[in-house]
Amino acid sequence: MSSPYSILQSHKLRITDCRLEIIQEFLDKNIALSHSDLEEKLKQQFDRVTIYRTLKTFLEKDLIHKVLDDSGATKYALCAHGDTAHDHD
């Protein structure tokens, strides 16, 4: 299993505490997580806007993808290729 640090490096993303913590949550849980799930876990360390912006960056870099649950709520999951960067044609 890749470390949060190596995942960020492979996607050419700056290493920040928030990014490391969010990736670690995805790795630890191994399930899709909502913004609210992450906010609840990390609210003592990071505000909701920082978490939102981090998720947005991860989406743009194809590190995570959106998943709709049975109720239609948006959750996020690590991409299967989460430890290697790739290009889309």
Q: Kindly state the average pLDDT of the residues 66-84.
A: 84
For residues 40 and 43, what is the distance between their CA atoms, to the nearest angstrom? 6
Specify the pTM. 0.85
18 beta partners: none
Domains in the chain: ranges and CATH: 4-78 (1.10.10.10)
For residues 25 and 6, what is the distance between their CA atoms, to the nearest angstrom? 15
SS3 77: strand
CA dist 77 → 34, 42, 44, 52, 89 (Å): 9, 17, 22, 14, 22
**Tens of pLDDT, residues 6-63:** 999 999 999 999 999 999 999 999 999 999 999 999 999 999 999 999 999 999 999 9
